[in-house]
Amino acid sequence: MNIAFRLNGKQVQAEIRPDTLLLDLVRQLGCLSVKRGCETANCGLCTVWLDGRPVLSCSTLAVRAAGRHVTTLEGVQEEAEEFGMFLAREGGEQCGFCSPGFIMNVLAMVREIPGASEEEIKEYLAGNLCRCSGYMSQLRAVKKYLDAKAGQGAETAAWDAKAGLAAEAVCGAEGGQ
């Protein structure tokens, strides 16, 4: 069967079998950041976004992507690099196998729960397994990244508020005539 969907913002078409997995499809289409780990929905390595929500591509049929938006690490490179700086500063950088899925989940969490507590972070990222390191440096990096994002949000809000007041002043002067 033939399906059409958006992959990292670009419209694509693909010929698939009814049992093709999303993991195999995105890799065939060149998104090699998506890794094959346990293939039993236990490690998080294969995480991609479907319409902006994280899913395990090893246990998602490719046909579910039809007409929808699929995002892989290749589609969020700038954000991934920004978060990568936080990981590196905390000594939390990980290998090329577990990092892509972990980063996709962190970036999804920032959107879904911008002010996530430590417990919420742990719960959200519980499905991302690393076989060789601890999790504390990654946790520190995630918390600092969330704080930085919240700070950016506050700056934007302050800027919007100022712009709003300025706009109100202009509209007020016009409205008084």
**Binding interface with ligand FES (CB under 6 A):** 36-39, 41-46, 56, 58, 94-95, 97-98, 130-133
Least distance from C-beta 57 to ligand FES, angstroms? 7
Looking at the Cβ atoms of 56 and 104, the one nearer to ligand FES is 56
Least distance from C-beta 113 to ligand FES, angstroms? 21
Contact of 71 with 29, CB cutoff 8 Å: no
Would you call 134 helix, strand, or coil by DSSP? coil
Looking at the Cβ atoms of 97 and 148, the one nearer to ligand FES is 97
Least distance from C-beta 44 to ligand FES, angstroms? 5
Give the chain's end-to-end CA distance (angstroms, integer): 65
Looking at the Cβ atoms of 69 and 97, the one nearer to ligand FES is 97
What are the backbone angles phi and psi of residue 153, rounded to the nearest 5°? -65, -40
Least distance from C-beta 143 to ligand FES, angstroms? 19
Looking at the Cβ atoms of 129 and 148, the one nearer to ligand FES is 129
Residues 6+ apart with CB under 8 A from 67: 3, 4, 5
The pairing of strands 2-7 and 69-71 is parallel
Give me 4's structure tokens. 């059409």
The sign of the dihedral angle between the CA atoms of 82, 45, 124, 53 is: positive
Looking at the Cβ atoms of 56 and 70, the one nearer to ligand FES is 56
DSSP code for 20: -
Least distance from C-beta 109 to ligand FES, angstroms? 17
